[in-house]
């Protein structure tokens, strides 16, 4: 498990909260009802919890 630069494509996010529930230190649900990273770096394994593929990491 490693911290990397994590991005969320909010045009894909459906606000299901899976990423927030699994990695509450890395993601939050914003005012828009969609997920956003809390910090620049997040857990790279979060990519696999998103059902719509909205989370990506920069290598």
Query: Residue numbers of the site for ligand SF4 (CB under 6 A)?
Result: 8, 13-19, 35, 49-50, 52, 54-55
Q: State the minimum distance, in angstroms, from the CB of residue 54 to ligand SF4.
A: 4
Cα gap 59→52, rounded to integer Å: 20
CA 24 from chain center: how many Å? 10
**How far is residue 24's CA from residue 9's CA, in Å, rounded to a whole number?**
18
Q: Which is nearer to ligand SF4, 41 or 49 (CB)?
A: 49
Q: Which pair of structure tokens corresponds to residue 23?
A: 């990695």
Residue 15 or 41 having the CB closest to ligand SF4? 15
**Closest to ligand SF4 by CB, 3 or 9:** 9
């Amino acid at each position: 498990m490693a911290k990397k630069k994590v991005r969320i494509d909010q045009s894909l996010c459906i606000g299901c909260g899976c990423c927030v529930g699994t990695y509450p230190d890395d993601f939050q649900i914003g005012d828009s009802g969609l997920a956003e990273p809390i910090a620049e770096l997040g857990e790279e394994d979060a990519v696999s919890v998103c059902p719509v593929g909205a989370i990506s990491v920069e290598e």
